[in-house]
Amino acid sequence: MKLGKTFGHGILGENPIFRQMLGICPALAVSTTVFDGLGMGIATTFVLVFSNLATSLLRKIIPEAIRIPSLALVIAAFVTVVQLVAEAFVPALHQSLGIFIPLIAVNCIIFGRAEGFAFRNSPLQSVVDGLGMGLGFTLSLALLAAFREVLGNGTFLGAQVMPASFEPMAIFISPPGGFIMLGLLLAAINLIVRKLEKRAAAKV
């Protein structure tokens, strides 16, 4: 597969959140502010890239039978790195993401890519795949968080963007708002994809 195609897949065609419905837990839990969403996205991307790289390098050494526990350990090791780095350099983020940083280790996207892609592809391909998937995840998270923060709090990245007369709709930063907003965004994206597919079909 071409590298560019591998990269683009993660962002559009196989977007982890909106197309594959993977990694919904962190997406809902840490999308109340754009800052948290971006932080989570970057942390996940880091783990994705390095676990893909390590898996791809080790793919000929790891026996097929014990690949699941081995991959889980590889992923957990990189998650620990992220956890320690975040605690040391961005304590505010470490505080607000809480247990969701160690929980990156059980994020289905990471496991899915390591097992489904990196285990069968070259290191370079795997790194590019990790970057694409990570970017797709980060963008989706930021999009969801942007809607929730602006509507629920009237701010964007902490800066006031809505006029003073705007009454923040607190529902959007509470848990139910997360489910509903993700549902609405998913519907909108499905509609756009269907329109695009129709147009593409009409051209052919």
Partner 1 sequence: MENVFVILVGSILVNNFIMSRFLGICPFLGVSKQLGTAVGMGMAVTFVMALASMFTYMVQRWLLEPLGLGFLQTISFILVIAVLVQVVEMMIKKLSYGLYKALGVYLPLISTNCAVLGVALLNMTENYSLLESVMNGVGGALGFTLAITLFAGLRERFELTDMPKWMHGFTGALITAGLMSVAFLGFQGFIR
Residue window 114-153: x/- pattern of binding to partner 1, with contact defined by CB under 8 A = ----------------------------------------
Residue window 46-85: x/- pattern of binding to partner 1, with contact defined by CB under 8 A = ----------------------xx--xx--xx-xx--xx-
Cα 121 to Cα 36: distance, rounded to the nearest angstrom:
32
Q: How far is the CB of 187 from partner 1 (least distance, A)?
A: 4
Cα 199 to Cα 193: distance, rounded to the nearest angstrom:
10
In this structure, what token pair is assigned to residue 181? 């907003």
Q: Can residue 16 be called a binding residue for partner 1 (CB under 8 A)? A: no
Query: CB–CB of 82/105 below 8 Å?
Result: no
Q: How far is the CB of 42 from partner 1 (least distance, A)?
A: 18
Q: Can residue 41 be called a binding residue for partner 1 (CB under 8 A)? A: no
Exposed (0-12), middle (13-18) or buried (19+): which is 39, by Cβ within 10 Å? buried
In this structure, what token pair is assigned to residue 108? 């289905």
- The vertex-40 CA angle with 94 and 181, nearest 5°, equals 120
Amino acid letter for position 13: G
CB nearer to partner 1: give 61 or 66: 66
**Region 83-112 residues binding partner 1, contact defined as CB under 8 A:** 83-84, 98-99, 102-103, 105-108, 111
Q: Can residue 184 be called a binding residue for partner 1 (CB under 8 A)? A: yes
